[in-house]
Amino acid sequence: MLNYLFSKDKNSGRLMKILKRKNKIYNTERFGQPEIRVYHKKGYGKKSPRYLLKCGCCNEKLEIYYDKLGLEINGVNGSIEDWKEILLPLLHIEP
């Protein structure tokens, strides 16, 4: 079962649904392989809010900063539309 936390975004004023997980290391209950651990941090000052994704079996990580204009994924900036065009086909979702 997925749990979500609702938080109001300061930049856009919209309500955001934030995924909450157990974040146990090497948790293979749902997918048969280690589940990605998800952490969220609110933005403050000039710092954008972010998601921190960690590998389920080690400490490799991916940082995703976001705002209403775009995303920065591990230091690579792009518009939301640009990221959709790249990532959705990889997830087998039509843009």
In a domain, 8, yes or no: yes
How do residues 64-92 score in pLDDT, each as one tens digit? 999 888 999 999 999 999 999 999 999 89
How do residues 17-69 score in pLDDT, each as one tens digit? 777 777 888 888 888 889 899 999 988 888 899 999 999 999 999 999 998 88
In a domain, 35, yes or no: yes
**Structure confidence at residue 10 as a pLDDT band (50, 70, 90):** low
In a domain, 11, yes or no: yes
In a domain, 95, yes or no: no
Q: How far apart are CA 67 and CA 90, in angstroms?
A: 23
Give the number of domains in the chain: 1
In a domain, 78, yes or no: yes
In a domain, 59, yes or no: yes
The whole model's pTM is what?
Answer: 0.76
